[in-house]
């Protein structure tokens, strides 16, 4: 499957770390956004994006709001969404799941965990 990722995080550092990790996993096709609003614009501009990796805590539109917007959209609601965040409280995880994320990774993450979660999402989609 030809995967194209949208990496959404307000921290340039985190975006680079996620992208480096994706590159090491041989996923070289990606676009970046610094918050939910920019992510929605990037989705419109890149209809071939099929996987979203998003942070939760961002100024402007948060990751959770982005997930809700994607799931409410007829055009994008099929997208795979992985949330990568520092929020580890059970109520946060439940809220994210109810909003429509496919899986959830806690920061700081390892490439192994990122790989596992991406594969789990892809396997569940196939």
Contact window for another protein (CB under 8 A) among 25-33, 38-46, 71-79, 82-90:
82-90
Asked if 6 contacts 51 with a C-beta cutoff of 8 angstroms, the reply is yes
Least distance in angstroms from the C-beta of 25 to another protein: 11
The residue range among 6-14, 25-33, 43-51, 71-79 that interacts with another protein, by the rule CB under 8 A, is 6-14
Q: If residue 31 lies in a helix (H) or strand (E), which one and from where to where?
A: strand 30-33
* Number of chain residues interacting with another protein (CB under 8 A): 39
How many C-beta neighbours within 10 Å does residue 107 have?
A: 16
**CA 97, CA 64: separation in Å to the nearest integer?**
10
Residue from 41, 44, 88, 119 touching another protein (CB under 8 A): that is: 88
72 forms part of the interface with another protein (CB under 8 A):
no
* Measured distance CA(10)–CA(117) in Å, rounded: 22
Point out which span in 25-33, 39-47, 53-61, 68-76 binds another protein (CB under 8 A).
53-61
Q: Shortest gap between Cβ of 52 and another protein (angstroms)? A: 16
Token digits of residue 13 = 């550092």
């Amino acid at each position: 499957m030809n995967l194209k990722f949208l990496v959404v995080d307000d921290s340039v550092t985190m975006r680079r770390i996620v992208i480096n990790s994706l590159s090491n996993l041989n996923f070289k096709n990606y676009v970046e956004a610094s918050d939910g609003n920019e992510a929605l614009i990037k989705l419109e501009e890149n209809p071939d994006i099929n996987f979203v990796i998003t942070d939760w805590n961002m100024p402007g539109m948060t990751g959770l709001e982005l997930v809700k917007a994607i799931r409410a959209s007829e055009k994008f609601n099929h997208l795979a969404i992985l949330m990568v965040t520092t929020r580890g409280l059970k109520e946060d995880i439940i809220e994210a799941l109810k909003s429509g994320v496919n899986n959830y990774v806690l920061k700081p993450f390892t490439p192994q965990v990122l790989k596992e979660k991406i594969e789990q999402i892809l396997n569940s989609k196939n």
